Amino acid sequence: MLNPLASLVEKKLAAMPVTVRLQMPDGQWLGPKDARVQLAAKTAGAIKNLVAGDIGKIGEDYVEGRVEINSPMRDLMAAAAALLPNSPVDAARQGAFSALIKRLISVWRHSIERDAKQIEFHYDLSDDFYGLWLDPLRVYSCAYYREPEMTLAQAQEAKLDHICRKLRLQPGERFVDIGAGWGGLLLWAAEHYGVDATGITLSKNQHAYVNQLIEQKGLSGRVRMHLLDYRQLDTEQPFDKIASVGMFEHVGRAQLDGYFTRLRHLLAPGGLVMNHGITAGGVDNAQLGHGMGDFIEKYIFPGGELTHIGHVMTHMAAGGLESLDVENLRPHYARTLWAWSDGLEANLDRAREILSDEGGQRALRAYRLYLAGCAAGFENGWIALFQILGAHLPQSGRADELDEPSDLAYPWRRNYMYSQRSS
């Protein structure tokens, strides 16, 4: 006969969209033997977290070894979503006092020194580990599946070109990639568009990796990579074009006015800036609820903060930039993350070899949940990904703003909508 807690758990399992089997701490099994999702809880606390639908704590239980999971990631995420008592966006809404406290924390935690340590925590885990599941260019941001049948590698190249086309890069232009990662966009812009390219990062591993690539490709005279915070870039020599891809999530909500003001000061008159980053699904939440945001903060991205696209554009305008084009790539990021997750799952044995110590094994378990969980988050609209193309606010009116040859191209026209007429 089942005890009351076990009976409650059994009812939850029976209501799942996928079959789930769970081993209780006393060794008792609940659910069908051939279930798609197999779980083993070692503590009563883990069972309570499951019943409460506290997904973040369940994830922590797995990372810390209090729960064992044997399941395809897509099935696991389907089960996890079904456990939620309500939307993680709604659960993360905060009152005025909580918002004030979080703002004060945001101001404190995003000094140049603290940001450097937070970036090192994530990006310097292991280059070989990231290489297992990223594309050959190691582009660690949302891909652009311009065609449905594209592979991850093709979609990442399409994304790099998508950004370069939006920025209308021209040979000889001074271009800076803020948060250049492993150099994918930096080198693509230099090799395919002939720009004079500067990249910055706070990751020592990425800095060394990209500088080696620059030398190997014979681009030392035209491409450079600096270990530098964006706040330390020299504004005396502004850039013609600026890209910030997958970086502004680390800036902090309280710093966004200063961030966009800095981009404007770094941008030459007539230049363009591209801000590409993750945004919150809800207007009032800085992270996901039900413990998901706390999990990411603890194990993946310390210091990361989400902002709704509405607030992002407000801060961008406050910084003196005009939004020219806004594109939501949310489903593209869901597909990207599933590709990353599938790549990691296919290389688990090698990942365990690379991250062989106890801390590395915890990190591996965290990343398995993080990649699949974020894929589910984008699928469900809990988070989004926006590209915003901006420029200096116009200083004076131009009656011919739509007539000059340089103005006839994107972004002031939407000719792509009219290139083919439907039959």
Instruction: Give the per-residue pLDDT at 105.
Output: 41
Comparing CA positions, the residue from 257, 249, 324, 320 lying closest to residue 288 is: 249
- Which tops the pLDDT comparison, 414 or 96? 414
Tell me the average pLDDT of the chain: 85
Tell me 245's DSSP state: E
Answer yes or no: are the C-beta atoms of 185 and 163 closer than 8 Å: yes
pLDDT over 50 at 97, yes or no: no
Q: What residue spans define the domains of the chain?
A: 4-85, 96-407
- 238 or 116, higher pLDDT: 238
- Judged by average pLDDT, the poorest of 82-96, 136-150, 270-284, 369-383 is 82-96
User: Rounded to an integer, what distance in angstroms lies between the CA atom of residue 4 and that of residue 335?
Assistant: 40
Give the relative orientation of helices 55-63 and 73-83 as an angle to the nearest 10 degrees.
140
The proportion of the chain whose per-residue pLDDT surpasses 90, expressed as a percent, equals 58
Distances (CA, A) of 216 to 196, 212, 398: 17, 6, 46
Give the ranges where 183-225 is alpha helix by DSSP (H). 184-193, 204-216
Which of 303, 395, 313, 300 is closest to 340 using CA atoms? 300
Q: What is the pTM (predicted TM-score) of this model? A: 0.86
What is the third-level CATH fold of 96-407? Rossmann fold (3.40.50)
* pLDDT confidence tier of residue 287, bands split at 50, 70 and 90: low
Could you tell me the pLDDT band of residue 113, with boundaries at 50, 70 and 90?
low
Q: At CA 369, angle to CA 365 and CA 375, rounded to 5? A: 150
Cα 257 to its chain centre, rounded Å, is: 21
3-state class of 35 per DSSP? Answer: coil
* Catalytically annotated residues: 374
Look up residue 283 and give its DSSP letter: S
Query: What are the tens digits of pLDDT across the range 61-71?
Result: 999 999 999 99
Strand (E) positions, 7-146?
Answer: 20-23, 29-30, 37-41, 67-70
Which tokens hold the place of 404? Answer: 């000059």
Q: How many Å apart are CA 382 and CA 56, to the nearest integer?
A: 15
How many other CB atoms are found less than 10 A from the CB of residue 26? 9
Least confident of 84-88, 186-190, 230-234, 370-374: 84-88
On whether the 4-85 domain is CATH 1.20.1250.20, my answer is no
Instruction: Read off the pLDDT of residues 126-154 as tens digits, 9 standing for 90 and up.
Output: 889 999 999 999 999 999 999 999 999 99
| pLDDT over 60 (residue 122) | no
- Token pair for 350: 């090698």
pLDDT at position 289: 56
Residue 200 DSSP label: E
Alpha carbon separation from 193 to 18, 148, 171, 186, 187 (Å, rounded)? 48, 26, 6, 10, 10
pLDDT tens-digit readout, 196-211 = 999 999 889 899 999 9
Peptide bond into 411 cis (omega under 30): yes
Torsion, CA 280, CA 285, CA 288, CA 294, rounded to 10: 120
Percentage of the chain surpassing pLDDT 70?
83
